[in-house]
């Protein structure tokens, strides 16, 4: 290419990129539908910055995580697909040197798609979709805590299936739940600066209220690893990525994922947030998350890019069992927001989660949407925004929610004709309008005969039914199983579920992006 032609090409490329918005996803952990005050008027504390974010954008009231546990939901975020597309079934949460990645080589990922559109991409915080670790003989290690000391870091790094091999230019992550599941190390751009060569004793970490350190497992850790204030570290890494990028290449858009530890167990609020609310350590913890969201918004304003930045807030599943129980008992706070179930369960409390989008330049403020949506939809929505035409074999469970965000979709017309979720054991739930069919008995996740959950057991009106059918319009609490009474609807949903599983997709084919040229600016009032 001649120099004049190259100059024209670069100029055109720069112009195209400059028109695209910056994108930030804040992905919370184990945050229930009722954990934000904009979703729960009876919350035991306030979340003012997230409430502000909702007031300045759109808040979805029928949003769902792909799964009711961490790793499969994160696969859904990064791939736009349900976990069974990767595994053929469900998918567990990784512990120790667990892997390989659910994100297969050659799969189009969210970061990879945006890289193709000229974005500088980064992910910071909890990764937890699996990594390949090798021992001294070059053999892949299985998961579990006992295998951590067998890792040969020289042979294992740079990681062959870490974020930098799955669509991200920069990364600073933990392999699993940052303060729950060893291996406790930081991974920066595929490398482990300081290996895990010390035994971690949970007794060395604070235990707020005498019980909130629950699920902080002993194991192997790097000597520089921190358990209190880890989300501030993740935020600082995100901030550094954004500010450095703006200094060096301001003409290019950026895509950053801030994947928090909050509100996963253990509950370890930073010192400055202890006592910040009257709702105990977990209330303080969620308030700390709220403050971090506020820091992200304030950073966009300081950099004078607020109008050109889309911020999405979402969560990977409902609140943890003991968290739901303790918050109800101690503070009259319902993290499940009135819905049945919690983390791991196929009932609504396990997968109905907050979802907020804010983009002052393009998304009209003050919207509340009842559009049915899934975290997997973020993929097709962002593809539509940036003008990327998705191939049919990619993001096969992802629907474009951009019309809903822009306020152009009629409220009475659902973008999604159906929605899939999977519970802890990989069992399926399917929605069609107000109807929900659970292809299993019971919760699909937690056992409700233990001392913590037995108080929440509901008497089953159809104990012999092999599945469950509910009308969420008349029965949002999923209390009356209509499996036999509404047999025709149940058979219709069973047939639809079978079809969607066998077809290899639930999203439509030939998806056409909207593109920035068709997204009007919000008119000033």
In a domain, 4, yes or no: no
- CB 260, CB 231: distance < 8 Å: yes
**pLDDT value at position 385?**
98
Both 452 and 411 in one domain: the answer is: no
Structure tokens at 172: 């600073």
Alpha helices (H) along 479-520: 487-503
**What are the distances in angstroms from CA 305 to CA 53, 246, 263, 296, 515?**
16, 10, 29, 12, 20
In a domain, 356, yes or no: yes
What mean pLDDT is predicted for residues 160-184? 97
Q: Cα–Cα distance between 399 and 500 in angstroms, integer? A: 14
In a domain, 11, yes or no: no
Say which residues have a Cβ less than 8 Å from residue 305's Cβ, sequence separation at least 6.
Answer: 22, 246
In a domain, 17, yes or no: no
Q: Cα–Cα distance between 183 and 133 in angstroms, integer? A: 11
Q: Cα–Cα distance between 174 and 468 in angstroms, integer? A: 38
Half-sphere exposure of 496 (CA within 13 A, CB side): 20
**What are the distances in angstroms from CA 153 to CA 96, 103, 248, 327, 371?**
14, 21, 32, 41, 46
DSSP string, 123-184: EEEE--S----B-TTSPBP-SSGGGGGG--HHHH-S-TTSGGGTT-SEEEEESS-TTTSS-B
**pLDDT value at position 363?**
98
Tens-digit pLDDT profile for residues 336-383: 999 999 999 999 999 999 999 999 989 999 999 999 999 999 999 999
**pLDDT value at position 7?**
37
Closest listed residue to residue 471, CA positions, set 455, 489, 453, 449: 489
Tell me the sheet residues that pair with 432. 435
Bridge-based pairing state of the strands 22-28 and 309-315: parallel
**pLDDT value at position 145?**
83
**pLDDT value at position 387?**
98
The count of structural domains within the chain is: 2
- DSSP SS3 for 352: strand
Both 340 and 465 in one domain: the answer is: no
What mean pLDDT is predicted for residues 36-50? 98
Say which residues have a Cβ less than 8 Å from residue 69's Cβ, sequence separation at least 6.
Answer: 92, 93, 316, 317, 343, 344, 424, 445
Tens-digit pLDDT profile for residues 311-344: 999 999 999 999 999 999 999 999 999 999 999 9
Q: Cα–Cα distance between 245 and 209 in angstroms, integer? A: 41
Closest listed residue to residue 84, CA positions, set 417, 502, 430: 502
Alpha helices (H) along 268-333: 280-302, 321-331
Say which residues have a Cβ less than 8 Å from residue 261's Cβ, sequence separation at least 6.
Answer: 29, 125, 126, 177, 178, 179, 230, 231, 234
Bridge-based pairing state of the strands 22-28 and 120-126: unpaired
Tens-digit pLDDT profile for residues 5-26: 433 333 334 334 448 999 999 9
Closest listed residue to residue 369, CA positions, set 413, 325, 321: 413
Tens-digit pLDDT profile for residues 106-152: 999 999 999 999 999 999 999 999 999 999 999 999 988 889 999 99
Both 138 and 211 in one domain: the answer is: yes
Domain that holds residue 139: 23-84+106-426+505-518
Both 398 and 462 in one domain: the answer is: no
In a domain, 58, yes or no: yes
Both 300 and 240 in one domain: the answer is: yes
Number of residues assigned to the chain: 525
Bridge-based pairing state of the strands 22-28 and 254-259: parallel
| Averaged confidence pLDDT in the chain | 95
- DSSP SS3 for 221: strand
DSSP string, 451-489: TTTGGG----S-TT-SSEEEETTT-TT--S--TTTTHHH
Both 449 and 388 in one domain: the answer is: no
- DSSP SS3 for 20: coil
Both 420 and 451 in one domain: the answer is: no
What mean pLDDT is predicted for residues 265-277? 98
Tens-digit pLDDT profile for residues 381-404: 999 999 999 999 999 999 999 999
Tens-digit pLDDT profile for residues 173-202: 999 999 999 999 999 999 999 999 999 999
- CB 200, CB 182: distance < 8 Å: yes
- CB 106, CB 184: distance < 8 Å: no
Closest listed residue to residue 368, CA positions, set 38, 33, 1: 38
- CB 429, CB 340: distance < 8 Å: no
> Is residue 1's pLDDT more than 70?
no
Both 347 and 466 in one domain: the answer is: no
In a domain, 3, yes or no: no
CATH number of domain containing 447: 3.30.1120.10
Both 346 and 481 in one domain: the answer is: no
In a domain, 523, yes or no: no
User: How does residue 4 score in pLDDT terms, banded at 50, 70 and 90?
Assistant: very low
Structure tokens at 384: 């539509």
| 244: enclosing H helix or E strand | helix 230-248
Both 513 and 415 in one domain: the answer is: yes
**pLDDT value at position 525?**
59
Both 385 and 492 in one domain: the answer is: no
In a domain, 16, yes or no: no
Closest listed residue to residue 177, CA positions, set 285, 259, 87: 259
Q: Cα–Cα distance between 380 and 318 in angstroms, integer? A: 23
CATH number of domain containing 135: 3.40.720.10
Choice among 2-11, 23-32, 155-164, 201-210 with the minimum mean pLDDT: 2-11
| 243: enclosing H helix or E strand | helix 230-248
Both 447 and 366 in one domain: the answer is: no
């Amino acid at each position: 290419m001649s120099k004049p032609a190259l100059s024209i090409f670069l100029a055109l490329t720069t112009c195209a990129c400059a028109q695209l918005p910056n994108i930030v996803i804040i992905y919370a952990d184990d945050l229930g539908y009722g954990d934000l005050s904009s979703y729960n008027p009876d919350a035991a504390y306030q979340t003012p910055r997230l409430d502000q974010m909702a007031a300045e954008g759109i808040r979805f009231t029928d949003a769902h995580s792909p799964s009711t546990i961490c790793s499969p939901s994160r696969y859904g975020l990064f791939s736009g697909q349900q976990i069974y597309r990767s595994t053929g079934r469900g998918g567990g949460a990784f512990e120790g040197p667990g892997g390989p990645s659910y994100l297969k080589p050659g799969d189009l990922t969210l970061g990879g798609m945006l890289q193709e559109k000229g974005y500088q991409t980064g992910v910071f915080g909890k990764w937890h979709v699996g990594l390949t670790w090798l021992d001294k003989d070059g053999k892949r290690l299985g998961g579990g805590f006992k295998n951590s000391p067998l890792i040969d870091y020289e042979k294992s790094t740079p990681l062959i299936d870490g974020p930098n091999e799955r669509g991200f230019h920069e990364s600073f992550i933990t392999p699993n739940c940052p303060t729950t599941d060893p291996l406790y190390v930081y991974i920066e751009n595929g490398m482990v600066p300081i290996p895990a060569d010390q035994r971690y004793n949970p007794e060395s970490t604070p235990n707020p209220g005498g019980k909130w350190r629950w699920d902080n497992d002993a194991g192997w850790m790097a000597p520089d690893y921190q358990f209190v204030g880890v989300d501030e570290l993740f935020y600082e890494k995100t901030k550094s990525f954004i500010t450095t990028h703006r200094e060096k290449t301001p003409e290019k858009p950026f895509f950053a994922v801030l994947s928090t530890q909050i509100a996963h167990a253990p509950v370890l609020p930073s010192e400055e947030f202890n006592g910040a609310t009257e709702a105990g350590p977990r209330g303080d913890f969620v308030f700390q998350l709220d403050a971090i969201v506020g820091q992200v918004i304030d950073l966009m304003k300081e950099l004078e890019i607020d109008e050109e930045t889309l911020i999405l807030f979402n969560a990977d599943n409902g609140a943890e069992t003991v968290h739901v129980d303790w918050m109800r008992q101690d503070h009259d706070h319902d993290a499940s927001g009135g819905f049945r179930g919690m983390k791991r369960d196929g009932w609504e409390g396990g997968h109905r989660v907050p979802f907020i989008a804010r983009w002052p330049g393009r998304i009209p403020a003050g919207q509340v949407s009842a559009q049915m949506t899934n975290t997997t939809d973020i993929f097709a929505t962002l593809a539509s925004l940036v003008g990327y035409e998705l191939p049919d074999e990619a993001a096969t469970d992802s629907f474009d929610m951009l019309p809903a965000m822009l306020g152009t979709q009629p409220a009475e017309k659902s973008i999604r004709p159906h929605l899939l979720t999977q519970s802890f054991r990989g069992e399926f739930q399917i929605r069609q309008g107000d109807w929900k069919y659970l292809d299993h008995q019971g919760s699909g996740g937690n056992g409700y005969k233990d001392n913590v959950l037995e108080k929440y057991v509901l008497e089953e009106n159809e104990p012999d039914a092999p599945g469950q059918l509910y009308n969420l319009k008349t029965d949002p609490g999923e209390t009356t199983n209509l499996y036999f009474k509404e047999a025709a609807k149940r058979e219709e949903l069973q047939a639809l579920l079978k079809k969607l599983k066998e077809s290899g997709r639930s999203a439509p084919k030939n998806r056409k992006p909207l593109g920035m040229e068709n997204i009007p600016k919000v008119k000033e009032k």
